[in-house]
Every structure is written in C-alpha cells, then in structure tokens.
Amino acid sequence: MFEFDFAQYRQALSDKIADRCPGSVAGEPLLNELQRVADEAERLLEQHQVADRSLLDCGPGCSSCCVVNVSTLLPEGIAIAHYLRGQDVGLKNQIRSKVEELWCEVRGLDDEERLCMRRKCAFLDEQGCCTIYPVRPLLCRSLTSTDADRCREALVGQAFGEERPILMHQFQQQLYETLFIGVADGLEKGGLDGRSFQLTGLIRFLFKHPEAEAELLEGRRLCWQDLY
Ligand code: SF4
C-alpha cells in the first residue's frame, strides 16, 4: 500500500523555502519556489492512486466554500498581487473595489462569524469561478469535498450552529495543509514573516502599498494596524 511521509515532505519543503529567502532580487526565487512546490503537489495528486481524484466532487462554478476566512502567507499574497498586475485594468479595478468593500465588512470577524455572514470571496466572478485560480492560496486548494451537496448543506448548517461533517478528500487536504505549514516554517527559518493573514486584508494592504512588497521580502513583519 502507498504511504506518504508527510513529516519528511514538510521538512524538505521548509528547507527549500528557507534557502530561497532574503537576499534575493525582488523575491523572485522565493516566489518561483512557491509556485514550483504548488505545481509539484498538483503533479503528486495526479500521479498517486491513493489520491484518486475521481472521488472529488468540487468543480468550476461551485463556490460554496468560498465564504470562509482564508489564511494566507505573505509570499502567497505577493504572488496574487503580481498576478493581478498582469490582468486587464477593468478586472483589476473591479476586484480592488470588491476587496475594499468586503474587508470593511469582515475585518475583525472570527472564522465562525465570517462563515455566518455568507459573504462570498472578492475573487469570485459572476459564474462562481475563482479569478486568481492559478495562484489561489494553498488552503483554498486543501478544501476538497467528496460530496458537493452535503458540503453545501453542512456549510449552511454551520452558519446556524449545526454540526454537520463535511466529507473531504483526506489525502489532498493533508497534502496542502502540510505544504502550508512547511512553507511557513521555511519562511521563519529564512528570516521572513511566516505568519498568515486573512486573504482579503492582505491583498487590500498590498493594493494600497505596493512599495511595502520589497520590505516584506526582506523580513518586515506586518502588525495589525497595517491591515486595519
Ligand atoms: S481565492 Fe478563489 S478559491 Fe479561494 S476563497 Fe477566494 S474565490 Fe474561493
């Protein structure tokens, strides 16, 4: 039977990320490494039988889980900001005002309160698809339902205080969660801020302060006043 050594995977990731930390030109090696490890995880899921993706019931247009706080690491946020810079001005402006509006409503809310609001992520388009899909946060990739109807019902139920299980694709969930922790460890080891921030607040900050990117990639740590 196939067994995957998550502890070793996490250690290797952490070392690779730490190696690409400060001293780099505009953080490019770090951002490239982040993309590379995310692509590698994708390939791993395609290749291994234990990760049978036919079990997944998530698909384009189903955005029922896009109503939660998404914890996002700094380089993930910076990669999203870079990606958005390459999009057309109309889309960029639209996303920017959605981010601003959403952040005013959700800042300071804990996970449960955020879920209760049922407010959709600012990156969803009219069709319910993620507009930053190629660079979406690692924890968005870890949410993988094996039964979309039950997932939807459970999320609605949770907003009303009901405890219903959400059936997840366990291997994929654990792989991306380990990836997230490995990257966070590597950032701290490499002298950068390895804490996570709420996706909406982080992107709003990066929209407003593009000049801060270089400082963040050199070890500046954000404080809560920066985001609020
Ligand atoms: S970033 Fe994309 S996948 Fe993640 S919550 Fe937002 S719309 Fe959904």
**Residues paired with 73 in a beta bridge:** 196
Question: What would the pLDDT profile of 158-192 be if each residue is shown by its tens digit?
Answer: 767 777 777 888 889 999 999 999 999 999 999 99
Asked whether the beta carbons of 30 and 75 are under 8 A apart, the reply is yes
State pTM to two decimals: 0.91
Q: How far is the CA of 77 from the centre of ligand 1 (A)?
A: 12
Question: What would the pLDDT profile of 129-145 be if each residue is shown by its tens digit?
Answer: 999 999 999 999 998 88
Domain ranges of the chain: 27-227
DSSP per position, 69-122: --EEEHHHHHHHHHHHHTS-HHHHHHHHHHHHHHHHHHTT--HHHHHHHTPPPT
Residue with the two structure tokens 């395609």: 46
Q: Indicate which residue's Cα is closest to atom 5 of ligand 1.
A: 66
pLDDT at 2: 62
Residues with CB under 6 Å of ligand 1 are 63, 66, 70, 121, 123-124, 130, 132, 136-137, 140
Alpha carbon distances (Å) from 3 to 46, 47, 91, 135, 190: 16, 13, 43, 28, 30
Alpha-carbon span 8 to 10, nearest angstrom:
5
Question: What would the pLDDT profile of 22-79 be if each residue is shown by its tens digit?
Answer: 755 558 899 999 999 999 999 988 887 666 777 887 888 888 889 999 999 999 999 9
The mean pLDDT of the chain is 90
